[in-house]
Amino acid sequence: MLLLQNARIASENSPVLVEGDVLIVEGKIQHIGSNLAIPEGARVIDARGRVLMPAMFDAHVHFRAPGFENKETITTGSEAAINGGVTGVVMMPNTRPALDSATAIATVLENAKHRSRIPVYTSGCVTKNREGKELAEIEGMRELGVKMLTDDGDTTHDPAVLLRAMQYATEFGMFFASHCEVPELAGPRALNEGVMSYRLGIKGSPACAEEIIIDRDIRLARAAGAHIHIQHVSSKLGMETIRWWKSRGDVKVTAEVAPHHLLFTDEHIGDYDTNYKMNPPLRTQADCDALLEGLIEGVFDLIATDHAPHTPYEKAQDFISAPNGITGLDTALVSLYHHFVRPGKFGWDLVVKRYSAEPRRLMGLPVPTIEVGQEANCVLFDTEAETTFTREFMKSKSQNTPFIDQTLKGRVDMVILGTEVLLER
Partner 1 sequence: MARKDLLDIASLHREEIEFLLDQSTSFKKLFTRSVKKIPALEGKSVLMLFYEASTRTHSSFEVAAKRLSAEVTNFNVDHSSITKGESVRETIETLQAMRTDYIVVRHGHSGLPGMIARQTTASVINAGDGAHEHPTQALLDAFTIQEKFPDPRGKKVLIIGDILHSRVARSTSTLLQKLGVEVAYLGPGSLVPKYVPESIRRFTDYEAAMAWAPDVVYLLRVQMERQDVQFFPSLREYHRVYGITNDRLAEIRQRGLYIMHPGPVNRGVELCDAVMDYERSLITNQVENGISVRMAVLDWLTPGGEFPRQEAYAAPQRASSPVTMP
| Smallest distance from partner 1 to CB 240, Å | 17
x/- string (CB under 8 A) for partner 1, residues 309-338? ---xx-xxxxxxxx----------------
Which residue lies nearer to partner 1 by CB, 28 or 268? Answer: 268
Q: What angle do CA 92, 348, 385 make, to 5 degrees?
A: 95
| Smallest distance from partner 1 to CB 379, Å | 23
Q: Candidates 21, 193, 256, 382: give the one binding partner 1 (CB under 8 A).
A: 193
Alpha carbons 19 and 10: distance in angstroms, whole number: 9
No. of helices (H) and no. of strands (E), the chain: 14, 16
Q: What angle do CA 407, 339, 327 make, to 5 degrees?
A: 65
| Smallest distance from partner 1 to CB 275, Å | 7
Which residue lies nearer to partner 1 by CB, 106 or 320? Answer: 320
Contacts with 102 (C-beta within 8 Å, 6 or more apart), sequence order: 137, 140, 141, 143, 144
Which residue lies nearer to partner 1 by CB, 146 or 299? Answer: 299
β-pairing, 51-54 with 43-46? Answer: unpaired
- Which of the residues 58, 215, 266, 306 is marked catalytic? 306
Q: Candidates 201, 249, 344, 373: give the one binding partner 1 (CB under 8 A).
A: 201
Alpha carbons 76 and 116: distance in angstroms, whole number: 8
In this structure, what is the dihedral angle of CA atoms 266, 394, 258, 411, given to the nearest 10 degrees?
A: -110
Q: Candidates 198, 225, 244, 425: give the one binding partner 1 (CB under 8 A).
A: 198
Q: Candidates 408, 415, 417, 423: give the one binding partner 1 (CB under 8 A).
A: 408
- The question of whether 306 is a catalytic residue gets the answer yes
Asked if 101 contacts 129 with a C-beta cutoff of 8 angstroms, the reply is no
200 belongs to the binding site for partner 1 (CB under 8 A): yes
274 belongs to the binding site for partner 1 (CB under 8 A): yes
Asked if 280 contacts 308 with a C-beta cutoff of 8 angstroms, the reply is no
Pick left, alpha or beta for residue 64 (phi over 0 → left; psi -120 to 50 → alpha; otherwise beta).
left
| Smallest distance from partner 1 to CB 232, Å | 17
Alpha carbons 66 and 387: distance in angstroms, whole number: 31
Q: Candidates 31, 164, 252, 268: give the one binding partner 1 (CB under 8 A).
A: 268
228 belongs to the binding site for partner 1 (CB under 8 A): no
Alpha carbons 205 and 186: distance in angstroms, whole number: 4
In eight-state DSSP terms, residue 364 is T
Which residue lies nearer to partner 1 by CB, 195 or 223? Answer: 195
Alpha carbons 27 and 242: distance in angstroms, whole number: 39
197 belongs to the binding site for partner 1 (CB under 8 A): yes
Task: Write the CA distances from 337 to 57, 218, 243, 249, 406, integer angstroms.
Answer: 16, 32, 25, 32, 14
Choose the stretch contacting partner 1; rule: CB under 8 A; options: 40-48, 190-198, 295-303, 415-423: 190-198
| Smallest distance from partner 1 to CB 284, Å | 10
Number of residues interacting with partner 1: please give it, by CB under 8 A.
44
Which residue lies nearer to partner 1 by CB, 271 or 384? Answer: 271
Q: Candidates 118, 190, 226, 292: give the one binding partner 1 (CB under 8 A).
A: 292
Which residue lies nearer to partner 1 by CB, 175 or 300? Answer: 300
Q: Considering only CA atoms, which of 80, 63, 81 is closest in space to residue 72? A: 63
| Smallest distance from partner 1 to CB 338, Å | 8
Contacts to partner 1 from residues 388-407, by CB under 8 A: 402, 404-407
| Smallest distance from partner 1 to CB 160, Å | 24
| Smallest distance from partner 1 to CB 1, Å | 40
Asked if 376 contacts 28 with a C-beta cutoff of 8 angstroms, the reply is yes
Catalytic residues: 306
Summarize as ranges the residues that interact with partner 1 (CB under 8 A): 184, 193-195, 197-204, 262-264, 268, 270-275, 285, 288-289, 292, 312-313, 315-322, 339, 343, 402, 404-408
